[in-house]
Amino acid sequence: MLKYKEWIISAVIVCLFLLSSVLLLLKSPPTNSSNPEWMGPAVGLISINGPISGSSSNPAFGPDGSDAVLAELEALVSDPRVKAIVLRINSPGGTVGASQEISQAITRIRTTLKKPVIVSISDIGTSGAYWIAMSGSKIVANPGSIVGSIGVIMQNMDFTEVPRRYGIDNVTYKSGKYKDMLSSWRPASLDEKKLIQGVLDDIHDQFITTLIERRGIPTPNAITIAQGQVFSGRQALDYDLIDYIGNMEFAISLAAKEVGIKGRPPIVSKAQPSFGSFLTKILRLASAVNPLTSTPSIPR
């Protein structure tokens, strides 16, 4: 019994050690403006990594999703040191509503609060992520960044052959003719297809309108390049989808220049630990251990 208790105590100690290690991993990297007594002008830095979606709060790791991004933006603009913001994007996009909320917040910062927001695209900035990028003052991307995918998509699985092949069926009870129109267990009717396509066309029209207004692209050209295709950063520059070819350091220097800061500006970050950042760090650690998982990939 004594040995069993000692084993339990040892296991608890190991768990506490691992938990403390995780918390250290989740801490944001220190910046040269972290001193609360330092009050000089600075550039704020915020990142959007991975798919964009609404909030999925987790008590252990804090808010995630668009709510976390909005909270970080609010914290940056509330800091009197922050004169401009660099938004670092590495995302294939995500849900429309979350992308629009972040876009609206950036537009407010840029127009109402008069603070420049320079967008820096890393590997990928497509679909909803590009919608967000368009709200910035300027867009910077690497020559090999993947940009664009200006379109809207909705998909579901097709299980219509499952009942015949495996004898497994689905029973649906509903009120409202179209309540189960995205069911995977039956073919969509013609009316349902028209209804869904109407929704997608309306959102696509919003996307194209934003492209025309924010990037100043003539309507015929905007329609041509907004068919869901992707472009390299260099191609995106030719199509006026971005403003400059450059890396994040270039974006930071551009933001500093916009507000008259000479030299490399101090950087302020308000990033908070989140479940998403926790998973990202764990995956990065796994990639470092296993070189087979760290090879480059092309988005589908």
Identity of residue 43: V
Tokens of 164: 């015949």
**Is residue 92 within a helix (H) or strand (E), and if so which, with residue range?**
none
Identity of residue 96: V
CA dihedral sign of residues 32, 36, 39, 42 = positive
- Selected catalytic residue, list 127, 135, 253, 277: 127
Long-range pairs of 205-214 with CB within 8 A, sequence gap ≥ 24: 207/131, 207/150, 207/151, 207/152, 208/150, 210/103, 210/131, 210/134, 211/134, 211/150, 214/134, 214/135
Residue closest to 212 by CA, chosen among 200, 147, 220, 112? 220
Identity of residue 252: I
**Is residue 255 within a helix (H) or strand (E), and if so which, with residue range?**
helix 248-258
| 33 within 8 A of 266, measured Cβ to Cβ | yes
Whether residue 99 lies in the annotated active site: no
Identity of residue 270: K
- Selected catalytic residue, list 174, 179, 193, 194: 179
| 106 within 8 A of 86, measured Cβ to Cβ | no
Which region, left, alpha or beta, applies to residue 205 given φ > 0 means left and ψ of -120 to 50 means alpha? Answer: alpha
Whether residue 179 lies in the annotated active site: yes
Give me the active site residues, please.
127, 179
